[in-house]
Chain A
Amino acid sequence: MRSSPILFFIVLLFHCPRIFADDFLRALPEEEFVQTVTQERYRNADAVIILKEQSYKTAPAIVWYGGVEYEGWNSTHTKVIIAKVFNERAIERYASFELTYREAFGDEITSGFEARARVLKPNGEIVEMDEEDVKIVVHRETETGDPISRKALFKVPAVSPGDVVQIEYTLTQPLSYSKSKIFYYNDRDPILFSNLYITLPHDVDPQIISIPEQTIGTPVVTQLDDAYGSGETYFWSLKNLNRIPEEPFSPPFADQSLITSFAFEPRAVSGLAVKPGWDRIARSFSEHFLNDDPVSDDRIRELGFAEKESPVTIETTDRLYSALRRMLVLDETNSPFPIGDDIETVFIKKKGDASDHAYIMMKILRQWGQDAKAVWIRDNREGIYEVAVPSIEWFDRMSVLVTINGKERVYDFDKSLPVKYDPAWYLEDASLVILGNDGCTHRVLQKRSSSGINTMVEHHSLFFDNQMQLRDSVGLRISGAPAQRFRASCYDLEESQLQTRIIALAKGNSLSTVDTLFHNNLYESPTIEMEILGRSQADAESIDSFLTIRPRNHFLRNFRDQIFSPSRLNHILLDSPFQISMDWRIDIPPGYALTVKPEDRSFSGVGKVSSRITYSATNQTIRVRCDVTFPQVAIEHTQYQKLIAVLDQITGALEGELLLKRL
């Protein structure tokens, strides 16, 4: 059990007897305490969250509607934020509120939302938001006008830097309970106190896990009452939590935050408490979501296959995956639950989410007699899931595992992947949940790839035109993780928009004008290829009887720009080991010759980054080659400046001067 002094202190700071504080659940902190929260003390923070309090309660409930009694579980989620804001950036975050919530029963049985907000000025004045300033709008509605989701919105009045903002809201959702949930203690700003209350029915046997357990400790447990619908409240309180800022190539927020999660199963009909477990969830999922509609023979033929394919080889499954990717478009969002009971709709609309696509592939393979398993995915972009917490809440989609002649392949449906099968970088070293007949297993199916798989290759042919302007025919070739990232950003683009994107890419570092552009079908092929011709950004200058040329690289500069930050706070986590290969072929203009061939050079640095630059020359051409390898995916944030330094060193050397003399 966690020691009580902290709890006592928190109660002193924030306890708010209703008799003194209108409807606010927590009191504003004392002025003396607020004055200790200064920008000097929390350097580089936009705000400090003095209190983040989350409480979640689920309990059995009976809802009457239209003369019918509905029995189910209600859930209530309350959140309190008290934050001192230091600048306008923080005001943008804390003074504008937006929460979207689902309305499972449209206008029939609606959710309840209440919010309060107030501002404590440095002079002690308190400005309270008018209740009427909370706007609740229907966010999405069906064709018949039934709300699918609502949005609660408001602006906190009169907030200035130095103020304390308090926001409290409660969302009550009828007949909508979750058997598991994950709570994050941290935030994007530092937190002084982060509290969590979870109230569950007293007659269930929940599995509650905190990570890391030693830091979070065990909860204070309060038995509310033995009466029907009441339960036990579990309470945790942590203090002084670091902020987790958003930075490129960082570990996901979920992997950095301290978390507590719970899972439970309702008591069995026999009255016995039921322990939650992966096998139970997997069996229930398989029963309810994987045994629905088969795929019709007509649809299989439409995909270019016979109703029964035999034998099924890896080549067949690859072709099936490609056919599905070509025929069906991916939705903007995913859910782990396929619409198996109406899978024909996906064919009619030619659109569905990743799980719908995976369901179709799995069904077709099973109809062919080929074993295919559903797999729940939480990939490297989201973070890892905790095996100790059996919950489908971790996952956002389903994919398919096929094993043929001992060879395993995960077929995932994601915007970053091409039509032709290409192993997804974000599944490397990621543990996946493989669903079987009797439960599930947890396995890593894809090992970390090597830098040779994830490559960015740029080839420049530099030549002088008639006006002695330096022109460049640039060839860019991207494979593996970098290609998948680029493809994901282009999935929703029309053809002309894609060309504009590629031109912008070329103009970023290589070319100042673009004359011609060719690219392959990047949605189809795992490797993305572009050929662009235009005026070079490489520097050429005529001095007396000399001509100087400085090559200019694309990918290394681009990578540096992506990771650049004046003071890195997170560790660097690259997608995968990768390699940049650069190559210049420079035509020596007639009447000139290279004065001195530069020395070949090698570099190495943090993260085992290594590079070699080599030069060769004939009477007609100069060749410059450079490979940079990044074999390590994780680099500590303390090494960030050194990483930037080695990148600058390589670029500096690579873009050094080549001196030509008129003969």
Chain B
Amino acid sequence: MQNITIARNNVNTEALDAALRDQLGNACVGISVGNGQVIVHLTDEATSAQITSAQQIVANHDPEVLTDEQQAEQDRQQRLAQLRPNNRDTIQPDNFAGQLNALAQKIEWLELELAELRGRG
């Protein structure tokens, strides 16, 4: 394994890993972050061009740019925060007689709460 160490702080580990794997494919084994540095783990077969590419990707990395999954998780948390204030009471089935849309909204909120309990979207 070749370990390419680049000094930098403030890293979105998932996003940087995704960017490196997207560019380098199987040459990238992963990254490690901490102690003020990023270490890109490349296979022994990684070329000097791939090493240079990895260094550039790390240098140009913007931690504020989220992955699609991170964005979806952020959106889910925001939606959950919006729905919780209106769903504090226990469900009363009689309240939903002929109220299919209201029932659907209740289900949406429950789905989000379940996902939150499971710790993922």
A, B assembled together = no
Which B residues are closer than 8 A to A by beta carbons?
Answer: none
A interface residues, Cβ below 8 angstroms from B: none
